[in-house]
Amino acid sequence: MNTDLIEYLSDFVTPERLQLFNNVIENRTRYLTVALEDIFQPQNASAVLRTCDCFGIQNVHIIENRNKFSVDREVAMGASKWLNLHKYNENEQNSLVAIHELKKQGYRIVATTPHEGDTKLEEFDLSKGKAAIVFGTELTGITDIIKEEADEFVKIPMYGFTESFNISVSAAITMHHLTHQLRFHSGIEWMLSEKEKQEVKLEWLRRTIKSSKLLEKRFIKNRETK
């Protein structure tokens, strides 16, 4: 049904927009995903979403413990419209729920914090499997729960007096490096499957077309009457 529905809804967008969808989706990945724990500054939250979209990261996992994740539209530039955002905010231990869900999906949990035995970003081994890169709150970084559950730790080498990057800068540097390496790694199947491409494309069409719900109901009704 998805294929027929995609074909039907595609008639309601311009050929240029449809071609853009087709081009962008070929560079989308779920091999890497980003998890944001308790980010409270809208500008930082929005900048990270924009970074994920720019580098082709399709899924972002948002953990809300004490802080509600808020987006600054001017900074995000509509990035959230093209991403799959998964929020965890219904439990006492939202971080733990998120980590367990990511592990269930086959991700290794990679914490971005200084740690004994951590790996420099340029030495991170992408071939070991899918990775969820976790960024923590602006003030204190990731929580102890994330540290305890993490499979690996990665750091961006720094040579100045300042101890850390702003989270949005850290995410941009990390995602640029890892996605660049990923696209030139011949041994990793990082692209979306055909089924995933259909699912994402359908969601993009739904979000783009103002009357998509009504059109979809009409499509289903027409199929039922045939």
Residue 172 has pLDDT above 60, yes or no: yes
pLDDT for the residue 145: 92
Helices (H) and strands (E) in the chain, counts: 9, 7
Summarised one tens digit per residue, pLDDT across range 173-201 is: 999 999 999 998 878 999 999 999 999 99
Summarised one tens digit per residue, pLDDT across range 56-93 is: 999 999 998 887 877 766 665 678 899 999 999 988 89
Helices 42-54 and 167-183: crossing angle in degrees, nearest 10, is: 10
Measure the CA–CA gap between 149 and 86, rounded to whole angstroms: 19
Residue 163 has pLDDT above 80, yes or no: no
pLDDT for the residue 226: 65
More confident residue, 114 or 210: 210
Domains delineated in the chain: 2-6+31-217 (3.40.1280.10)
pLDDT for the residue 1: 60
What does each C-alpha distance from 120 to 45, 100, 134 come to in angstroms? 24, 25, 15
Summarised one tens digit per residue, pLDDT across range 5-48 is: 999 999 999 999 999 999 999 999 999 999 999 888 888 888 99
CB 196 within 8 A of CB 31: no
Measure the CA–CA gap between 150 and 111, rounded to whole angstroms: 6
Measure the CA–CA gap between 25 and 29, rounded to whole angstroms: 9
Residue-level length of the chain:
226
pLDDT for the residue 102: 98
Q: Which of 158, 166, 151, 109 is closest to 132 using CA atoms?
A: 109
pLDDT for the residue 75: 60
Summarised one tens digit per residue, pLDDT across range 104-156 is: 999 999 998 766 678 999 999 999 999 999 998 877 788 899 999 999 999 99
